[in-house]
Structure 1
């Protein structure tokens, strides 16, 4: 490998270890997500918005917004007097989401990482981050949760969600896909590198961490067919 090629590889590795796994193929991601959720992406986003308690006029931020589907659902809920910011570390995802959402007076999309949010303290009412935590390097996850807590106003709500398959077929499918993903990357943060990939993506593992950074009530619920959700409230 040439000197420049090695430098580029090292720079990518450094960024990857600091930010986490980047998803750079929006259409492929959308197709995979639709398959895993059995085509229920729209109903899932509607339920997620409902669980946040988001109201017209509120300000929300979706961290790891990907192609922007949840951003649009939140924007519809907050209405013209509210505001929604979508943040993702992947420029490709932000570009794609911008093209899909178009010009909107109550939406903004920008590149950024969960562990260094470009937002003022106590500036939003709702924070969402779905199917994201397992992409963040494990050493950076507490910092990400602290940032989410920081930007929320007192009484604000945080929603974390990740894959939570039930039954026999769906867990087996997730394990198989995780092993396949692990073989395609050397990144140790890929769920397939864990002894049990289902444990790696179980959103319940963050309950105590949320309490430790200052959240009060932390509630867990599931959304069929395969989503687990934590909703935490910042005490007023």
Structure 2
């Protein structure tokens, strides 16, 4: 029975790890055609081009990083602050229901609806336009995420600080932010990943001018450049892996 369990565990681990290993091997290859068992070239030639401008992968990685960090920081902070007023509002149920509206439509359809207004504002096909479009998706998620934080216990802490003479700014800095530190980090990670892997909305609003790393992956696949596509996928995996490590080591362990 123990051998069966070990065999199932090993098979499970191989099934999870194999796609990532294969992507890495494919990113180091070139001229790998069927029915050849081995590629014509295997080395770091493709990765060496990342630092240059030939592939544009390094630039796309930086663009994606800037966009995702901007969306994560703004949506997390705005979601935390505004969720307080939504939670204490008399029409809380209606306002909470409205936060689900961006998720009713598919990202491509939602992007098509926004494109007219973004074109009028002159931000269609710009990095700021992509950040704003992704913020519209990530901000409602942050509102929903923080809705469970505001309860009677938190309200009693706020009333206590007010009784002792503390203002709203002091309450946020000294009481609410320290109490919600773990949730703020988790929400930041989640909204970062929402932005990092976003494709449909970015492709519509960015209109091909804002080439994030996710857009690059699909472009390489359409061009049948599987080696650069695999390399882009490897780079696409790096931030989530780092986020998971930080989340587990510094956030999750403290929450439990």
TM-score tier by shorter-chain length is under 0.3
Structure of larger gyration radius: 2
Q: Which has the higher helix share?
A: 2
Q: Which has the higher strand share?
A: 1
Calculate the TM-score normalised by the size of structure 1. 0.24
Calculate the TM-score normalised by the size of structure 2. 0.23
Q: Which has the higher contact order (CA 8 A, sep 6+)?
A: 2
